[in-house]
Amino acid sequence: MWRRAGPIRLHLAAIAGRRIRPPPQPPTPQATFSSSASSSSSFHHNLGAFRDSIGARSRSLSNQTGGSGDGECWSCGAKGVFLSCGSCRSVQPVDPAVDYFRIFGLDRGYNIKDNNLEGKYKDWQKKLHPDLVHSKSEKERAFAAEQSALVIDAYRTLSKPLPRALYLLQLEGIHVDEEKTINDQELLMEMMEIRESVSDSSDSQTLEKIQSQMKRKVETWSNSFQEAFDKGDFDRAVEATQRMRYYERAMEETVKKL
Ligand SMILES: [Zn+2]
């Protein structure tokens, strides 16, 4: 993925997922690699998709006016219904009061290990699948399309630690500014070194080693997030999500090269 054609300035932003000013020292260290046009555009594309999904979440959260999540089925009147009615199988309109955790029958929290998220996701999608609702009214088909998109978003958000952490913070009313730079020279230097090692490694063994190091770092910060979040220390929780993002980006770089 990296072209080695010429020495171009290190793209820290790409690894961190945000804009970062290089350290104020003499000319920014010259890296022996650069991001190629294609990797850069795919990075922006991915970031865009991630932002879109955050945007979708903000919208659904900001719509939280009323609605207890204990809806009544519009068709048969059954209580406590959302997504699809258990009694008459009618697809329900999106209820913004139902958060992603509830969709999967989970308590709101960071640790959702061993909860068969994928299985529950597939079950919902089966119930909302266009082939199954094609005989239903136009209204219900529209509900199903909306619900299906919501379930996909919910699954993508909860199945990965970083989006899950950001979503939990958002439910607490904390918006993490992804453009905010981390002013930690030590971390930035570490990132630069990692990136350089990735670039210099040509054998998969070394890359795998770096990858597992990054994985451990993400796990460490993931644990820090949980600890801070559970204590209500949201400043530290936010910081942990930023570190997770840095190390995840670094991990993605090794994946691209492997
Ligand atoms: Zn019903």
Residues whose CB is under 5 A from ligand 1 (ion)? 73, 75-76, 78, 85, 87-88, 90
For 131, the domain range is 67-161
Report field, pTM of the whole predicted structure over 0.85: no
CATH of residue 129's domain is 1.10.287.110
In order, the DSSP letters of the chain are: -EE-SS--B--HHHHHTS--PPPSSSSPPBPS-EE-HHHHHHHHHHHHHHHHHHHHHHHHHHT-SS--S----TTT--SS--SB-TTT-PBPPP-TTS-HHHHTT--SSS--TTS-HHHHHHHHHHHH-HHHHTTS-HHHHHHHHHHHHHHHHHHHHHHSHHHHHHHHHHHTT----TTPPP--HHHHHHHHHHHHHHHH--SHHHHHHHHHHHHHHHHHHHHHHHHHHHHT-HHHHHHHHHHHHHHHHHHHHHHHH-
Domain boundary among 161, 185, 219: 161
* Residue for token pair 């730079």: 181
| CA-wise closest residue to 154 among 125, 113, 114 | 125
Q: List Cβ neighbours of 216 (8 Å cut-off, separation of 6 or more).
A: none
| C-alpha 81 – ligand 1 centre gap (Å) | 8
Q: Do 6 and 82 belong together in one domain?
A: no
pLDDT of 69 reads 56
Q: Do 196 and 157 belong together in one domain?
A: no
Q: Do 196 and 239 belong together in one domain?
A: yes
| C-alpha 126 – ligand 1 centre gap (Å) | 17
Residue 166 in domain = no
Residue 113 has pLDDT above 90, yes or no: no
| C-alpha 91 – ligand 1 centre gap (Å) | 8
Tell me how far CA of residue 155 lies from CA of 92, 166, 167, 182, in angstroms: 19, 14, 12, 29
pLDDT of 78 reads 94
Minimum mean pLDDT among 17-21, 154-158, 186-190, 199-203: which range? Answer: 17-21
pLDDT of 59 reads 37
| C-alpha 72 – ligand 1 centre gap (Å) | 8
Residue 226 has pLDDT above 80, yes or no: yes
Domain boundary among 161, 195, 216: 161
With cut-offs at 50, 70 and 90, classify the pLDDT of residue 9. very low
| C-alpha 64 – ligand 1 centre gap (Å) | 23
Q: Do 184 and 253 belong together in one domain?
A: yes
The structural domain count of the chain equals 2
| C-alpha 122 – ligand 1 centre gap (Å) | 21
Backbone angles phi, psi at 26, to 5 degrees: -45, 170
pLDDT of 134 reads 87
Domain boundary among 106, 131, 161: 161
Rounded Cα distance between 146 and 157, Å, is 17
Residue 40 has pLDDT above 60, yes or no: no
Q: Do 201 and 250 belong together in one domain?
A: yes
| C-alpha 79 – ligand 1 centre gap (Å) | 8
Q: Do 222 and 251 belong together in one domain?
A: yes
Q: What is the pLDDT of residues 150-186, one digit of tens each?
A: 999 999 999 999 999 999 999 999 998 877 777 888 8
What percent of the chain is predicted at pLDDT more than 70? 73
CATH of residue 34's domain is 1.20.1280.20
**113 or 55, greater pLDDT:** 113
What percent of the chain is predicted at pLDDT more than 90? 51
| C-alpha 85 – ligand 1 centre gap (Å) | 5
Residue 14 has pLDDT above 60, yes or no: no
